[in-house]
Structure 1
């Protein structure tokens, strides 16, 4: 029996089903080795890249992780995100910039934890330095070949796709660091961040001498 779906059109139901599988796996990736988690993300990204060859059928799509910060939602391409995990605590490091909350232990590796509230100049941070050692945090881990840094999300995260052609230019009212990283905004008001700018910004490159 032939499908009733027009030739060259994009099967959104199928895409949503695949995205749901990926979202279900987000919470499982902390149980995987780093190499396994990276391979899983790469495989899912390739599957989602299987769009129709007809350029008029659909615009380019990008897979993003949406997180919440200070009541605002931000979308970051998953190609620069390795995993999401629950850190039992974050240890403050004296003498570091305000936007560096501290460090967390990721399977024996020390990982810098960045407070995007402070970095982007948003409202007062909900992460109080004097109390974070005793508060578990849901951390989004950024990196390509290895974990580079992590950032907490106020609420749960979700994985979805965006059509690049539908990303609008950033609001002219944006100022400071947030504007530096803003790629655009969706019609739903989700700010899309440029992951490559984040990964290459000197403020977010940490080594053993940081602090």
Structure 2
């Protein structure tokens, strides 16, 4: 058959219509065969779905992204924006007449950088293994590196879940944002990188 414009008209899909009508009839019959209890159950479930309140979308400004790691028997974390790399130094040059938490100096990306036993620096119990990896910290270039026993994973923490640090932590409390309910210490990256104690005046070294 031709249309008024002369182009062929697609044939009407009678078979498709019959199939859809047949399926609709089957659904109707199935519904008619439901018991009162089944119908009530379906209506209750439908009401529950309609009344379900969607989960609140968390504002990303409420979250901080952190790297979790172990320091001896303790677990700590620091924001990823302060972490430049995770690596195992090729060589560490010991530094005489320095605090116990200074493990030595190493060359990181062309920068002579001090490696800190952070667990010792913070006065934590347990001993960090000396052959552990280091987290290289800084903003634009390596500023220091901290020894970690084990890198856990990168995760996000809600700011409202971080509690005020305990006064029992002494002077290191100024280097913490706080602690989580499961006792993870959240380091304050800004405060740590501004701490004069973790830097060595290389002009004083022989």
TM class, shorter-chain normalised? 0.5 to 0.7
Aligned to 1:198: 192
Task: Sort the Cα spacing of 1:125 and 1:89 in 2 relative to 1 into closer, same or farther, 3 A.
Answer: farther
Mapped contact 1:64–1:160 kept (Cα < 8 A): yes
Note the 1:108-147 alignment, pairs <5 A.
108-123=110-125, 125-127=127-129, 135=131, 137-147=132-142
Q: Does 1:66 align with 2:114?
A: no
The 5 A counterparts of 1:53-202 are 60-123=62-125, 125-127=127-129, 135=131, 137-176=132-171, 178-202=172-196
- Cα distance in 2 for residues equivalent to 1:193 and 1:65: 10
Stretches of structure 1 that go unaligned for 5 or more consecutive residues are 11-50, 53-58
Post-superposition offset of 1:150: 0.3
Change (3 A) 1:115 1:7: closer
* Superposition deviation, residue 207 in structure 1: 5.0
Query: Runs in 1 of length 4+ with deviation above 4 angstroms?
Result: none
RMSD: 2.4
Bigger relative contact order (CA 8 A; separation at least 6): 1
Query: Aligned pair count?
Result: 154
Query: In the TM superposition, what whole-angstrom CA distance separates every residue of 1:106-141 from its partner, at most 9, and x where no partner exists?
Result: 2443221011122111235345xxxx5xx4x31100
The question of whether the paired residues in 2 share the 8 Å contact of 1:199 and 1:205 is answered with no
Return the TM-score normalized by structure 2. Answer: 0.66
* TM-fit CA distance, 1:172: 3.2
Q: Residue 202 of structure 2 aligns to a residue in which SS?
A: coil
Contact 2:128 2:148 in 1 (8 A): no
SS state at 2:88 partner: strand
- The aligned counterpart of 1:48 is none
Structure 2: how far apart are the matches of 1:209 and 1:160?
Answer: 39
Q: Secondary structure at the match of 2:150?
A: coil
State whether structure 2 residue 78 is matched by structure 1 residue 9: no
C-alpha spacing 1:191/1:8, structure 2 compared with 1 (3 Å): same
